[in-house]
Structure 1
Amino acid sequence: MTHLLVAGLTLLSLGTDDDDSVGVSRSYFDYLISAREKPRRAPASPVSNTKPKVTCSYQRWWYANGLQKVGGEYADPDRTLSSEPVKGAWYLATCSNGIPKLVWLDNRRAPRASAEQLAQRAYKRIPIAPPRVLTAPPRGRDGLVGLPHWFYLAKGEWQAKSKRLRTGAVWAEATAKPQRMTVNTGDGHTLVCHGPGTTFDPGRPAEQQRSTCSYRYGQPADARQVGVSVTWGGTWRGSGGAGGTLPPITRSVTFPVRIVEAQALVTEG
């Protein structure tokens, strides 16, 4: 409704036309002219009823024991996945139409982790430390130019490790298995050994032993910085017959090696 206030006008006879309905009323000082305009049709335009599809992924944020809806500062990533909250939990929601945000979901609405997601979490929790590397001659003693310098891992280092997680009816087990040992000899060469190396036995003559991971230095050096890395391959299996591979993990250690030349003693007599 459109209203127009006009003061000091004489009374005019206003009719109506086919499009608008117009009326005149008189007050003590003025006339009030009112008009109701008929709605005009808007030009036709195609309207899409299809809304963009929004997808979200949810990652569990573990909260402190006994606390609920307290915010992300209480997230506890080390809480075991088998511990189900009584009422619900915090989740980090990442959606295709916005930035990540924390949302509280009760157990009835909480998304269940897939077996693959559980496997990835389990894989990260497998304790894989830097390798314990032994040498012959032992570290701290001089090696000799031209003679094999042995590299091998301590007992128990070359064995698979696994971690299993479960949430509700979904479970997954991740396994990390050592695949190769790589030795950067410190003089520009790289030695790749597909095993832990052979353990040197000081109780046997050296000429009766053979190494599967050794290197002969050609030049003396006071302290060559040697780096040894062990690469682990990952696999997983889970509920519903699922399974697959996981990214490799590499752990490294460095230490000095001193190489000297053997001195021959010549005597007369």
Structure 2
Amino acid sequence: MRFKLSWLAVGVATGALALLPSTAFGWGTPGKSNGQKTETGGKRDGTSIVSRVTFSGSTGGTTKSGGGNVMPVGNWTPPACWYEPRSAQEFSKYVEDMYNDTINTPGQHSYAKAAVGMFRNEYKDGTYKNYNLDKEDEGNWWVAVVDEDRWMEPEAQACDKQPFWVENGETPPVANAVTPKVLAELAYNRVKLPTTEVTLAPANTTKVNLPTWSWLDKAKFKDVSVTASLNAGGLNIQATTTAKPIALKLEPGTSDAETYPASGECAINADGSIGEPYSKGKADETPPCGIKYLRSSGDGTYELKVTITWQISWTGSGGTGGDLPDGTFGATQDVTVQEVQAVNR
């Protein structure tokens, strides 16, 4: 994860480090932890402190069989930045180590040394005295953290307040100060969903004007959840975000097709399955969930897109909980459609 300060940016320009007032200074190393590994408080990774938020559950990456991240419906996105607490000891160690590393690095630009020196003075000998170490038991420093997978997004610049002190029992006076709900939103961004490949009958190869049945068994499609936890600065909270499949949408991959139902959206059944398996004797029936292709795919295939809508809810520490925006995840599968004069089943 990346910590940042609101008044300073260190960037590379023509080989030199430049001081850019009124912007952000990134603390961290993109591509390292993504908050998914358990880290000890104040642990340094080079000149960074990683986030203390950890994740467990269905956070694994995509597999050979498919799968991927849930995508929110609408314009909502999980936070790209937030604020976490740090003890006075942790904060002072980080700043002192950063200062010493910068000052003692051969060839370091004077702008970088001046910027780090200004920041150190603010908390050691300026507005605050010696990092409030004498108030260790009375409160914590709160610092901005940026999701290292999203640090280039404009939303990542929203947490632009430099580290600030909060007394025990007081609420941090900023948006996105970490809470069970914020943890739930962060967990949302790390939910990995299974492949959405449906079972088809006929399988893979179907015929023109022949209804193709499609379905998902309950046993193959279950609720998925991720738990986000934070234990730092005397704060010990967690939240579990759960995704539940509620609907399936079929997009045939060509305009020369009809879907069942006409909207292409198949609702989930009472037992948790979607659609209905084909069985002998149903040849003349209309499938509750399926497709009818009206034209051959020739020497190629049609890309049938299958998208699952997931209902997202969460529960957290202290009896908290609620709903988050629905999410979707889709994938494609190839379907061959052949032209025939007659079909006998």
Size of the aligned set, in residue pairs, is 197
The Cα shift of 1:181 comes to 0.8
Sort the Cα spacing of 1:88 and 1:209 in 2 relative to 1 into closer, same or farther, 3 A.
Answer: farther
Gaps of 5+ in 2: 1-33, 57-84, 95-142, 147-157, 269-273
1:56-75 matches, within 5 Å, as 65=40, 68-69=43-44, 73=48, 75=50
Give how far 1:149 is off: 0.8
Residues 147 and 179 (structure 1 numbering): CA distance in 2 closer, same or farther, change over 3 Å?
same
2:251 paired residue number: 184
Give the direction of change, closer, same or farther, for the CA distance of 1:220–1:120 in structure 2 (3 Å limit).
same
The one of 233, 237, 251 aligned to 1:170 = 237
TM-score, normalised by the number of residues in structure 2: 0.46
**1:255 equivalent in structure 2:** 333
Matches within 5 A, 1:103-142: 103=163, 113-139=178-204, 141=205
Pairwise CA distance, 1:85 = 8.6
Q: In the alignment, what sits opposite 1:7?
A: none
Contact 1:183 1:191 in 2 (8 A): yes
Larger radius of gyration: 1
Distance 1:192 1:67, change over 3 A: same
The one-letter amino acid of 2:226's match is K
Whole-angstrom CA distance in 1 between matches of 2:220 and 2:162: 41
Amino acid at match of 1:100: D
> C-alpha displacement at 1:79, in angstroms?
3.7
Deviation at 1:176, TM superposition (A): 0.9
- Measured after TM superposition, the shift of residue 215 of structure 1 is 1.8
Judging changes above 3 Å, is the alpha-carbon distance between structure 1 residues 85 and 79 closer, same or farther for their aligned structure 2 residues? Answer: farther
Cα displacement (A) at 1:93:
6.0
Deviations 1:19-46 (A, max 9, x none): xxxxxxxxxxxxxxxxxxxxxxxxxxxx
Give 1:209 deviation, angstroms.
Answer: 7.2
Per-residue CA deviations over 1:51-71 (Å, capped at 9, x if unaligned) read xxxxxxxxxx96955863556
Query: Which residue in 2 is equivalent to 1:213?
Result: 289
The aligned amino acid for 1:147 is: L
Indicate whether 1:153 and 2:216 are aligned. Answer: yes
Shift of residue 72, structure 1, vs aligned partner: 6.3
Separation in 2, partners of 1:77, 1:152: 42
Three-state SS of the structure 2 residue aligned to 1:220 is: coil
What code does the residue aligned with 1:121 have? L
In the aligned structure 2, how far is the partner of 1:78 from the partner of 1:113? 9
Residues 64 and 74, structure 1, Cα contact 8 Å, conserved in 2: no
Any idea what the Cα deviations from partners look like across 1:151-176, whole Å, max 9, x if unmatched? Answer: 22255343222233444553322211
How much does 1:192 deviate? 0.9
Call closer, same or farther: CA 1:70–1:166 in 2, change over 3 Å.
closer
Name the stretch that deviates more: 155-164 or 225-234. Answer: 155-164
1:263 alignment partner, SS class: coil
Measure the CA separation in 1 of the matches of 2:210 and 2:318: 55
Task: Name the SS of the counterpart of 1:225 in structure 2.
Answer: strand
% of aligned pairs identical? Answer: 24
What TM-score, normalized by structure 1, do the two folds share? 0.57
- The Cα RMSD (Å) is 4.2
Q: Which amino acid aligns with 1:68?
A: K
> Structure 1 200/80 Cα, relative in aligned 2: closer, same or farther at 3 Å?
same
Q: Give the counterpart letter for 1:213 in structure 2.
A: C
Contact 1:93–1:100 at 8 Å: present in 2 too? Answer: no
- Which residue of 2 is the match for residue 200 of structure 1? 278
Q: Is 2:309 the partner of 1:231? A: yes
Structure ranking higher in strand proportion = 1
Q: What amino acid maps onto 1:185 in structure 2? A: P
Unaligned runs of 5+ residues in structure 1 are: 1-60
Secondary structure in 2 matching 1:180: strand
Post-superposition offset of 1:105: 8.2
CA deviations 1:172-230 (Å, max 9, x no partner) are 222111121111112226511112222234xx444487632112222222222211111
Q: Quote how far apart the aligned CAs of 1:258 are.
A: 2.0
Change (3 A) 1:77 1:200: farther
Q: Match for residue 59 of structure 2?
A: none
Q: 1:161, 1:257 → 2: CA distance?
A: 28
| 1:183 partner letter | L
CA separation of 1:207 and 1:72: change in aligned 2, threshold 3 A: farther
C-alpha distance in 2 between matches for 1:151 and 1:232 = 18
1:93 and 1:103 in contact (8 A); partners too: no
